Amino acid sequence: MRSLLTAIAEHPEAAEFLRWPCDFELDRSDHVEEVHLASGAKLEGFAGDGSGGTFFFCGEGGEERPVLYADSEGSAGLVAIGLQELLHLVLVVP
């Protein structure tokens, strides 16, 4: 099965729409500070926003993994279960 992130990256118009007006940038996956889970599970950054926040997949697996958002001020929280749910939120509730 083809990755949704790959599909977006292969369509510049889709990636640009997510960048603006949705403020979801696939080329911003590095966070300013180290982020870790208390459980020690792996975090994989895959996108960011203009304010310095980063979206991370939690644990092992693919795009169905839970998504954590960490802002640039040190706060973080679970925002979606999988990339598809996150994109629904980004597109419907920017």
Q: pLDDT of 2-56, one tens digit each? A: 799 999 999 999 999 999 999 999 988 888 788 889 999 999 999 999 999 999 9
Q: What pLDDT was estimated at residue 90?
A: 92
Best CA proximity match to 26, nearest among 7, 3, 56, 47 = 47
Q: How much is the pLDDT for 1?
A: 58
Burial of 84 (0-12, 13-18, 19+ CB in 10 A): exposed
pLDDT on residue 67 = 98
The H-or-E segment that residue 20 falls in is none
pLDDT mean across residues, the chain = 92
pLDDT the model gives residue 94: 65
pTM of full prediction above 0.75:
yes
